[in-house]
Chain A
Amino acid sequence: MKYMLLIHSGAVDEQGGAPQCTVEDWMAYDKDVRDAGIHVSGESLADLVTATSVRVSPTGERTVTDGPFAETRELLGGFLVIDVPDLDAALDWAARCPGSRDGGSVVVRPVADFGA
């Protein structure tokens, strides 16, 4: 069963990045996930200052805006999709993720299965 781990950082520095975790932490975690044979996909996102939002109105008019900027405390910094037997296994991997520490959080969401 596939689960997406949405990795949110708690505090954000001026550049919109998460300052807490070291690159080594992330590399070690990434290696563990791949070695366990559960890695499906995953990306870490560039700093929030690079984000752009697009909305399309009912009349088809496109609005493009800079941002969003972090109004909320929690900011999506990356995601990971893993394939594990059950929620307990997914929660264990979420707990091992460096993004779950230092005020960050990892939201675990099952990927919808439409019987494919």
Chain B
Amino acid sequence: MAGEDASAGEARVAVEAVFREERGLLLASLVRRFGDLDLAEEVTSEAIEAALRHWPAEGVPARPGAWLLTTARRRAVDRLRRDQAYAARLAVLSADAERADPAPAADAQGPGELPDERLQLFFTCTHPALAAEDRTALTLRCLAGLTTPEVARAFLVPTATMAQRIVRAKKKIREARIPFRVPGPDELPQRLPGVLQVVYSVFTEGYAASSGPRLQRLDLAEEAIRLARILHRLLPAERESAGLLALLLLVHARRDARTGPEGEPVLLEDQDRGCWDRPMIEEGRALVVRALTGGPAGPYGVQAAIAALHDEAADVAATDWPQIVALYDVLRTLTPSPVVEVNRAVAVAMRDGPGAGLALLDALAGEPRLRAYPPYAVARGDLLSRLGRDGEAADAYRAALELAGTEPERAALRRKLGE
């Protein structure tokens, strides 16, 4: 941003951030009414523009949400009057939508006075017929209320690339007619994991890059938590939506302790636990209870329970490792993967000693997915080092060094190697 526009631009960004929550609510409500994402997005932006123009001069209206919705609806109706062909197409769309989904979905109230109709938009934006990267981008844009340049910055791609991606995804929604609807109770178990996965991947994206160049980077982890909160509010009875929110809170609570002054990663065992966010941990623990009560646990609930056990412990020695191993035993049946096996092996090493853990890790040596997974080599190195097999430990660290993606990770490994 150049010269004299900079402070005006910053003020504008600040004001737009205030509208982030409203934007998603407004958009969902308009999509529900008009059945068209493009139209809804355009008039949402126009209504917010109008608010930015009018409110500073005339004062904020008594019911800002209703003001925005009324303004946006008027704009949409104007648009449809001007463009008859468009209107005719939309009429067909909404007639079909009524036929397919006659029940109103607005049952939960949003933070303002607008009814919260975001759940259907969640299911549309995360539809499995869309490419995985497009689902994340659309969710950030439509539900988190981020602008396209903000989404682009978050993923470190040029704005034009991100704009293209979003246009392509919206074209598919429109032309393949991906519906705006909440799946019925019989479909929900199949569809909900896909929605949760998108929010989780927003979080891990934010996390993985938090040691990278963060200067301009929007905090994706915070956005993911905001999205998880919305989902939990919309689906309070779903244990896995509680589990996901719990997991994100319990991991994010350690954010200030997980990197050192140079941005290097600090292992759990070396973290200053006094820096952990206690209120966030308490909130997460309460959610874990809900996630694990009333039926078989899901993968997010189990991972949250593991995170809670770490967060509750005064230090590594006081951690309840037998319980953590037991939870990994559950997790490996729910979502079997070599990564879960690596984590379980590390927990076994803490419970039964490094030799036991190393035997489990060595049994995974043939896994193709672990060949490019630095934490596997690091874990082997750490256990070998604890067993006093320093030469082999150094080999493992060197293998990890070749795989490590970011400079702070490489620096941490060089320290282990004493280089």
Contact = CB atoms under 8 A, between A and B. Distances in A.
Interface of A: 1, 85-89, 91, 108, 110, 115
Contact of B96 (A85, A110, A115): A85
A91 B130 CA distance: 13
Interface string B83-110: 0010000000000110110000000000
B176 interface: yes
Q: How large is the interface on B (under 10, 10 to 19, 20 to 34, 35 or more residues)?
A: 10 to 19
Contacts of A87: 127, 129, 176-179
Nearest to A113: B175
A86 B100 CA distance: 8
B181 interface: yes
Instruction: List the 3 closest pairs (A to B, CB-CB), nearest first.
Output: A86-B179, A85-B100, A86-B177
Greatest chain B CB density within 10 A among A87, A88, A91, A115 is at A88
B94 to A, nearest CB: 11
Contacts of A1: 96, 177
Chain A's interface: helix, strand, loop or mixed, by majority? Answer: mixed
Contacts of B179: 85-88
Nearest to B183: A88
Contact of A110 (B97, B99, B176): B176
A65 to B, nearest CB: 34
Contacts of B178: 86-88
Contacts of B181: 86, 88
B175 A85 contact: no
Interface in B232-249: none
A85 B98 CA distance: 10
B184 to A, nearest CB: 10
A48 B26 CA distance: 53
Contacts of B176: 87, 108, 110
Contacts of A85: 96-97, 99-100, 177, 179
15 contacts: A1-B96, A85-B100, A85-B177, A85-B179, A86-B100, A86-B177, A86-B178, A86-B181, A87-B127, A87-B176, A87-B178, A88-B178, A88-B181, A108-B176, A110-B176
Interface string B174-210: 0111110101000000000000000000000000000
Given A1-B96, A85-B99, A86-B100, A110 B129 contact: no
A108 B178 CA distance: 12
A115 B89 CA distance: 9
A1 B176 CA distance: 9
A86 B94 CA distance: 12
Interface in B156-190: 175-179, 181, 183
Given A85-B100, A87-B127, 18 more contacts: A1-B96, A1-B177, A85-B99, A85-B177, A85-B179, A86-B96, A86-B97, A86-B100, A86-B177, A86-B178, A87-B129, A87-B176, A87-B177, A87-B178, A87-B179, A91-B129, A108-B176, A110-B177
